[in-house]
Structure 1
Amino acid sequence: EELEQLKDSLQQCLSMMPPDALVGLITYGTMCYVHELGNQDMPKAYAFRGTKEISSQQVAQQLGFAVRNDPRGSTGGQGSRRFLLPIEECEYAINSVLDDLQKDPWPVASGKRPQKCTGVAMSVAVGLMETTHMQQSARVMLFTGGPCTIGPGMVVGTDMSEPIRSHVDLQREEKNARYTKPAMKYYNAIANRAVHAGMAVDILACNLDQVGLYEMKVVSEKTGGAVVLSDSFSMHVFKASFQKMFELDQDGFLHQENLSAVDA
């Protein structure tokens, strides 16, 4: 139900975007998948392990950027056209991927949390933009319905008997908060990469329980991104806030200002 609500909101906002806006799609669970939108006849995605930290160089290599004699693509913007396309050119492809998108097929044992490699997904998204659109005013939008439970950036383990850290745990540096400092260090590094690349990172989190925003918030704070918290993707506060991000001005441009400079 939550996934269907999110897919519906995504498809609505895609229809609101300017036709020349570049879009891409990354999904994650146990693995992180970068979807190729340039081939509408045969959907394809490139998988990254959710338990391993991924650098921008590794993203470029696996996706075929900046690799000599690689027949899959080329450097820079030309190679990225398999993954980042104007919405008018890939609307059918991205909507088809969203229509077919299902819950993570990896089984979840009784008493376990689903495996979510949120940290890896965020790093791959930033790495993709670093490789193809450096300093070109991009936005990464993270949608999450639960805490990161595997890989770099994890804030709690998969065993349900292990509670996620509370405010008291953080203050006293209890055992339940043992993931916090490594996660904050990891997300701070991602934030610095995003700032250097000239992109903003938005976090849209919907869950009745904690999602690990305490550790992740530095990414939005440093990049000037937005943070939206709600209990469910079906609630009005999420839907209205998400649509607000895609409002157009009288000239048909998004109400977003990126890479601006302020003279004091």
Structure 2
Amino acid sequence: MNILLTGVNGQVGWELRRTLATLGTVTAPARQQLDLTDEQALRQFIRTTRPQLIVNPAAHTAVDKAESEPEPARTLNAIAPAIMAEEAARLGAAMVHYSTDYVFDGSKSGAYTETDTPNPLGVYGATKLAGEQAIAAAGIPHLILRTSWVYGLRGGNFLLTMQRLFQEREQLNIVADQFGAPTWSRMIAEATAQILAQRPFEQQSLSGIYNLTSAGTTSWHAFAAAILERTALEKSVTLNPIPATRYPTPATRPANSVLSSDKLYKVFGIALPHWETALALCLDKP
């Protein structure tokens, strides 16, 4: 396949550049080569490269900043995916797009499934949902992979933030009443390649939304504790559990970000490992 990959310097995009290489020729322009906020440049790039598959992990993920500056989030999370889908339709191409647990309000008592009605709490979730809807409306073969609590060894994420703060402080207050499944960016990329190897786009009926997260559930506090346990330090660090109300942010986070990946397993036979197993693999300290 001729594959166009966006967001190559992001957590998921960096990993996808490697895993997708087994499936075809990957064109992975950096931001300097392709500005996704420039509609004409984006359309022209797609028409020139003529991909058979567009894989789009690029996103505006500054959740709090989006509340006061919504336009950058709308441009990258909603408008750019819509343009990609329109151009894919012109070419007869397919599309893989990544979305988020933030399309839900977190009020459900159990794990969210793909058929649950979205109700985003803020700008980030609303713009990601708009991107999903634009791709679905384009009528192209597509996979929308919703994930949550993404981390890795590059970029900005909870794992790297915690490792830095462990070095700087002796006590940390960590939210303990928001729940989800930390998901390693490499696992997302590897699962994507395994899905695509099954050539799902040959069956239009397989198009749609699939949840893709690690197994298990935890809180931010317990996730931090697991990271601390696997981090070599020459001092002790105390993690204090606090409610989200004691850590106010411009954007409201869902209290429940747990996504059921049962559909992914039933359709493609793929299930990510437990989040603790993945974390140990990521840090290479089983």
* Greater fraction of residues in helix: 2
TM-score tier after normalising by the smaller chain length: 0.3 to 0.5
Q: Give the TM-score normalised by structure 1.
A: 0.33
